[in-house]
Amino acid sequence: MIVGVGTDVVAVDRFLAQLDRSPALRERLFTEAERDLPPASLAARFAAKEAIAKALGAPGGLRWHDCTVTREPGAAPRVHASGTVARRMAELGVERLHLSLSHDAGIAAATCVAEGGHPGSDA
């Protein structure tokens, strides 16, 4: 059962300009595993975190570091949720997050589908 869907789009140049203006933002938004990625991949990770929040109903209080997006060559991106993100997933009965990332022509985009059963169900 689909619990929620979220999509986000980021202008890569604008996003990088913001990171240049506010160097501490990189550490605030990204986990250690994400920080050194190429610019377009960083923008896509930011879009992914926004899309994940939207798929989870965009509640206040989700922490950026409670969600890490990884990708192995030839494999789909994976979401590692902990803390506030994992708790929200449990509240909604979300068992899996499906994530798609793309970046081309200066735009990074992400779509997330939250899948699961009803809270407290066996699904």
Domain range list for the chain: 2-116
What's the whole-model pTM score? 0.89
CATH level 2 (architecture), domain 2-116 = Alpha-Beta Complex (3.90)
Instruction: Measure the CA–CA gap between 65 and 41, rounded to whole angstroms.
Output: 17
| Side chain identity at residue 25, one-letter code | L
pLDDT block averages, 10 residues each, the chain of length 123: 96 94 92 90 95 92 93 90 96 95 93 82 47
pLDDT number for residue 89? 95
Q: What was the pLDDT predicted at 74? A: 87
CA 48 to chain centre: 3
pLDDT value, residue 123: 43
